[in-house]
Structure 1
Amino acid sequence: MALIWGLTWLPMKVASEVVPPIFLAAMRFLLAGPCFLAVALAQGLSLRSNQFGRIAAASLLITTGCYSFLFWGVARAPSGLSAIVNLSLMPIFLVIIGRLYGQEPITKRRVAAIGLGVLGLVLLFSGRTGAAQDGAGSVLGLVAVAIGTVSYAWGSVISRPLTLSMPPLVLAFWQSLIGGLALVPVSLIIEGYDPAHFAGLTDGRAIFGLVALVLGGSLIAFWIYLGLVRDWGAFRAGLYAFVSPIIAVAVGVAYAREPFGWAEAAGMGIMLAATALSLSERKPMNTNPVRVGSKDLRGRVQK
């Protein structure tokens, strides 16, 4: 999962060169939805749920809200730096929002890891003058990536009770379908309607990007992610964020000639220290079991 999501940043950037980014996001999830549906039907899984309100809310956060900002931001900022901002902030927001929902404890070790992560981010921003020299677009792009990260983390936390009551594959289908449909009006409002957008989908760069995003980023990695949210909780599932940035930066530097200097290197070193601190912590006990309706799911979480 971490490998795939680290590799999809560059295809997303390449595809955004020929089609608008939010339109690209909508096409990604509208194509991923039928793929999830086909696999779910092949496995004989039921698509029914009595929690459609929570499914819709999680879909709008984890898909529509996140990728509206994320794809727009990545199109305006270096993909390697965008990956670092998104993935290093992810565990921070996951543990904070998870604590608000009673799913994640905030331990001293996690606080220390978050402090290191914030320090790394401050260093990354203060040492990278290229974003300011490139204009306000790069700075706004990074801000948009951060907002998208908050939305994704929030959607992940409220998705956990859903993963405990329905197969993650079915949830992935609903989140792709609902979130993708909701991205359509967002694209029309922000990017407008132009037949050239659809013509751009036949460009080799768009095809390359959509294949990587749909088959790798969605059908494989997102399915795995929801399963880990169910089994580990949102914070531990989000630890992929400490691995994927290294992959994304390496790809960006090697193939897109994106800048990489002492500030990025120092920031990554600090993030690796935060990684070690987080991974050395024993799994905390679930003191506030997740509930779906009136059913206590403590036993299922521990199992």
Structure 2
Amino acid sequence: MVFVNYLFMCLIFGTTFLAIKIGVDSGLPPFFSAGLRFFIAGLILFLIMIVTKKTQVRLFFHKEMFLTGVCLTFGTFATLYWAEQYVTSGVAAILSATGPIMILLIQNVILKEKGNRLSYIGCLLGISGVIFLILPIFTVEISPFWAIGCVAIIIGEIFYATGTIYTKKVITKFQHTSPIALNAVQMMHGGMLLLLLSLVIERGQYDFTMNLASASSFLYLVVFGSMIGHTLFYWLVARTNPVFPSTWLFISPVIAVLVGVVFYQEYLSWVTVVGTVTIITGTIIVNFNALQSMWKKKLVLKRGFKY
């Protein structure tokens, strides 16, 4: 059951990038659709948590939830949704896989935490992969918005990395609260901020027509992308460990590239392939010690030892 749910989660996370692309291309205002997606998904999950008495309404009013929402939902997805107007869903997914590399950079450069040599090698490899992906802007005629979109996604991953580091403290403080409830509240906060941003920037774009493509994209992202996908993630964390579910970052970008090429006729060049392999390899190396520790624990448990 764990393996099946893991594969399902990877498939969901790998296809959300194309769903975002379809929605944006069909005319949905990026900030408005992102805000509505996360607010509705968060509200539904939060109400379920309240009804089942796994959390209380006052959780919504903690400043930690607001700050987490700013980083994990608002900053991460405002940039991603905007960028996917100009960048293919495959490239967006690959660049989004740089989150662990950004975490390492923040921990070392800003927090002054020492890393190991292997992590630094992985970080350099990941950065070189990003350069490979952005390289075409200097060799062929591509819209400058393509390069700006790539940079925007990387900025979004800095938000994601900051939120992930901060979330460790939040989870410790709210250790008796369901992680699903914590995620639901931060999605609501992030969603409301995205809607406010939309009100300021996209005011003249609200005359869009909801068609089959935009409606399907929106519903898929709300139900599968935000509700089912994140619930599976936290279910896997509870059943295994925090490291194993996070390995979706190594698989989902490949899925995103493939579904973009097959179902949306997105262009796939050798530069994209090299960049994909390089970034994913770098991400694996950055997480190598955590992955190695996870597998060692599995082996010990199989042999009957106790921790």
Q: Report TM bin, short chain.
A: 0.7 to 0.9
What's 1:13 paired with?
Answer: 21
Q: Which amino acid is 1:267 matched to?
A: G
Q: Deviations over 1:51-71 (max 9, x none)?
A: 811211111111112211110
What's 1:290 paired with?
Answer: none
Q: How does 1:1-303 map to 2 (within 5 A)?
A: 1-17=9-25, 18-47=27-56, 48-49=58-59, 52-87=62-97, 89-98=98-107, 106-126=115-135, 128-129=136-137, 133-164=141-172, 165=174, 166-197=177-208, 200=209, 202-225=210-233, 238-278=246-286, 280-282=288-290
What secondary structure, in the 3-state scheme, does the structure 2 residue paired with 1:122 have?
Answer: helix
Distance 1:232 1:278, change over 3 A: farther
Q: Deviations over 1:78-128 (max 9, x none)?
A: 1111111121x21111233355797986222211111211122222222x3
User: For structure 1, which runs of at least 5 residues remain unmatched after alignment?
Assistant: 286-302
Q: Which amino acid is 1:150 matched to?
A: I
| Amino-acid identity (%) | 25
Deviation of the 1:267 alpha carbon: 2.0
What's 2:299 paired with?
Answer: none
Distance in 2 (CA, whole Å) between partners of 1:26 and 1:212 is 15
**How many residues are treated as equivalent by the alignment?**
280
TM-score computed with the length of structure 1 as normaliser: 0.81
Q: CA RMSD in A?
A: 3.0
Deviation of the 1:130 alpha carbon: 9.2
Distance in 2 (CA, whole Å) between partners of 1:130 and 1:268 is 19
User: For structure 2, which runs of at least 5 residues remain unmatched after alignment?
Assistant: 1-8, 294-306
What secondary structure, in the 3-state scheme, does the structure 1 residue paired with 2:207 have?
Answer: helix
TM-score computed with the length of structure 2 as normaliser: 0.80
Q: Which amino acid is 1:250 matched to?
A: L
Distance in 2 (CA, whole Å) between partners of 1:21 and 1:260 is 24
Q: Which amino acid is 2:33 matched to?
A: L
